Amino acid sequence: MGGSELIGKEEKEAIAEVIDRGAVLFRYGFDEKRKNIFKVREFEEKFAQYVGVKYALAVSSGTAADRVALAALGIGPGDEVIAPAFTFVATIEAIMESGATPIIAEVDKSLNLDPEDFEAKVSEKTKLVIPVHMLGVPARMDKIMEIARKHNIKILEDSAQACGSSFRGKKTGTIGDIGIHSFDYVKTITTGEGGMVVTNDEELYLRASWFHDHGHQHKGDRPRGEDTKEIVGFNYRMNELQGAIGLVQLSRLDYVISEQRKNKSKIKEAISKIQGLQFRELPDEAGDGGDTLIFFLPNKGMASDFEEELTKEGVGTKILPSALGWHYIANWEHIIEELKDKVEYKVGMWPQSDSLLRRAIAIPISVKMTDAETDKIITALKKAAEAVLL
Ligand SMILES: Cc1ncc(COP(=O)(O)O)c(C=O)c1O
């Protein structure tokens, strides 16, 4: 569960401070009343510094961040955007909301975008690829970048599930042209709802900033009512209470990741010798956020039996298989139906993803796991393996 496990005194004080100082909850203006303290702006600056980019724009959710990033890139009707078969529905909703067509590629054994299938799906209309760093693990960004550059395709990294993770020393979200993060309640750090768009490109940042606030160009030299505009936007702003909480949570991010990684390694090590369990491939183990341990069973039936055994022992799973309905294109009849005039999708079109996802089990790792809790999981995993694999 990440940062939400640690919400306490400091978050409470941060909110109280905003209210005591004049209760300006809006991110712009009211300079005197708020004594020139801007929490969302400060959160953006500290976040940009943390991940190592020039610009960060805080928004109202991770979904909003995806939408804003697409708008900044100028993606719209007629464009094709390649995204992986395994992601939260929000990534695809944002593409559809922009008017572009999502083209769904396979995932590989990292459960992230398969570079080979990404390249196979490129067409003349492809403008963008969205590698999604699922469940804390970075996608194969070296290969994805190489293919994207070869075909002149922009890269938006969806790092909603991997805040603070990295690939070869670079934070996820900062490797492509633009990246996004989510701070919803179950993410690595949380502001309740919230998101961040990050980039090193000034033009993309400015367009994102305008689009997320009705087109306002934020010319600081005039009242907001007289601000200039060039593009049509919307309202995806973050508010000051979220900004205040975000600053506290950001200060906890390294701790969250190191505790998760420690707990994950303990469990992984304890089950590493079990024959028949194959771990998810990690394109850069050192950059794993550590919030989930995933392994594959030899077949779908065994995975389902394995999950049943875990349930008997009181151990739950995370997304795989418990919420695959929200994370796998083949389960989204409503989206397939809505896209039918643009692209014809059928269940069974992603055999590689299907085989991997339906054989996978994901164990949630939390920050505050006690030895008793990790031991309970290890015992349950060993028992389930004995029941199913022997
Ligand atoms: C991969 C991915 N993208 C986008 C989002 C959307 O984030 P939010 O819930 O903050 O709107 C999520 C949320 O779970 C996600 O997992």
Atom of ligand 1 nearest to the CA of 193: 10
- DSSP state for residue 85 in the 8-state scheme: S
Q: Are residues 203 and 287 in the same domain?
A: no
At residue 363, does pLDDT exceed 90?
yes
Residue to mutate (ligand 1; options 89, 182, 193, 328; most atoms within 8 A of CB): 182
Count of beta carbons in the 10 Å neighbourhood of residue 321: 21
Over residues 217-233, mean pLDDT: 95
- State in Å: Cα 58 to ligand 1 middle: 14
- State in Å: Cα 87 to ligand 1 middle: 9
60 — pLDDT class (breaks 50, 70, 90): very high
Under 8 Å between Cβ of 69 and 132: no
What domain range is 297 assigned to?
Answer: 255-389
Under 8 Å between Cβ of 236 and 33: no
Under 8 Å between Cβ of 43 and 168: no
**pLDDT computed for residue 385 by the predictor:** 97
> What is the per-residue pLDDT across 266-309, written as a single tens digit (0 to 9) for each?
999 999 999 999 999 999 999 999 999 999 999 999 999 999 99
Residue to mutate (ligand 1; options 67, 93, 111, 161; most atoms within 8 A of CB): 161
Under 8 Å between Cβ of 42 and 247: yes
- State in Å: Cα 172 to ligand 1 middle: 15
> Closest Cα to residue 105, out of 92, 96, 114?
114
Q: Are residues 25 and 45 in the same domain?
A: yes
**Hey, is 285 helix, strand or coil?**
helix
- DSSP state for residue 11 in the 8-state scheme: H
- State in Å: Cα 195 to ligand 1 middle: 9
> What is the per-residue pLDDT across 169-198, written as a single tens digit (0 to 9) for each?
999 999 999 999 999 999 999 999 999 999
**pLDDT computed for residue 201 by the predictor:** 98
- State in Å: Cα 222 to ligand 1 middle: 35
Q: How many Å separate Cα 226 from the centre of its chain?
A: 36
**pLDDT computed for residue 337 by the predictor:** 96
Q: Identity (one letter) of the amino acid at 253?
A: L
The residue from 250, 273, 297 where one domain ends is: 250
Q: Are residues 130 and 157 in the same domain?
A: yes
Q: Are residues 212 and 319 in the same domain?
A: no
164 Rama sector, left if φ>0, alpha if ψ -120 to 50, beta otherwise: left
Atom of ligand 1 nearest to the CA of 161: 16
**pLDDT computed for residue 342 by the predictor:** 96
- DSSP state for residue 73 in the 8-state scheme: T
**pLDDT computed for residue 326 by the predictor:** 97
- State in Å: Cα 272 to ligand 1 middle: 31
Rounded to whole angstroms, the Cα distance separating 357 from 59 reads: 31
Q: Identity (one letter) of the amino acid at 183?
A: F
Q: Are residues 227 and 359 in the same domain?
A: no
- State in Å: Cα 13 to ligand 1 middle: 27
In this structure, what CATH number is given to the domain that contains residue 337?
3.90.1150.10
At residue 250, does pLDDT exceed 90?
yes
Under 8 Å between Cβ of 16 and 39: no
Over residues 123-127, mean pLDDT: 98
246 — pLDDT class (breaks 50, 70, 90): very high
13 — pLDDT class (breaks 50, 70, 90): very high
**pLDDT computed for residue 1 by the predictor:** 86
Atom of ligand 1 nearest to the CA of 195: 10
Q: How many Å separate Cα 308 from the centre of its chain?
A: 28
Percent share of the chain, pLDDT over 90: 98
Any residues with Cβ below 6 Å from ligand 1, and which? 61-63, 66, 87-88, 90-91, 132, 158, 160-161, 182, 184, 195
Q: Are residues 106 and 234 in the same domain?
A: yes
Rounded to whole angstroms, the Cα distance separating 58 from 300 reads: 41
Atom of ligand 1 nearest to the CA of 134: 1
Q: Are residues 72 and 113 in the same domain?
A: yes
The residue from 250, 265, 297 where one domain ends is: 250
At residue 348, does pLDDT exceed 90?
no
Structural domain count of the chain: 2
The residue from 224, 250, 276 where one domain ends is: 250
111 — pLDDT class (breaks 50, 70, 90): very high
Q: Are residues 316 and 184 in the same domain?
A: no
Q: Are residues 182 and 323 in the same domain?
A: no
340 — pLDDT class (breaks 50, 70, 90): very high
Residue to mutate (ligand 1; options 86, 87, 88; most atoms within 8 A of CB): 88
Determine the angle formed by the axes of helices 371-389 and 300-312, rounding to 10 degrees.
Answer: 140
Atom of ligand 1 nearest to the CA of 184: 10
- Token pair belonging to 257: 């990741």
Q: Are residues 170 and 267 in the same domain?
A: no
- State in Å: Cα 160 to ligand 1 middle: 5
Atom of ligand 1 nearest to the CA of 94: 4
- State in Å: Cα 320 to ligand 1 middle: 16
Q: Are residues 373 and 358 in the same domain?
A: yes
**pLDDT computed for residue 347 by the predictor:** 81
Under 8 Å between Cβ of 360 and 320: yes
Count of beta carbons in the 10 Å neighbourhood of residue 38: 18
Q: Are residues 180 and 235 in the same domain?
A: yes
In the predicted model, what is the mean pLDDT of the chain? Answer: 97
**pLDDT computed for residue 220 by the predictor:** 87
Whole-Å CA distances, 227 to 28, 85, 354: 12, 42, 50
CA atoms in the 13 A half-sphere facing the CB of 305: 14
Over residues 209-217, mean pLDDT: 98
Over residues 77-89, mean pLDDT: 98
Under 8 Å between Cβ of 18 and 244: yes
Percent share of the chain, pLDDT over 70: 100
- State in Å: Cα 273 to ligand 1 middle: 34
**Hey, is 347 helix, strand or coil?**
coil
Q: Cα-flanking dihedrals φ and ψ of residue 198, to 5°?
A: -125, 145
**pLDDT computed for residue 354 by the predictor:** 96
Under 8 Å between Cβ of 180 and 157: yes
In this structure, what CATH number is given to the domain that contains residue 138?
3.40.640.10
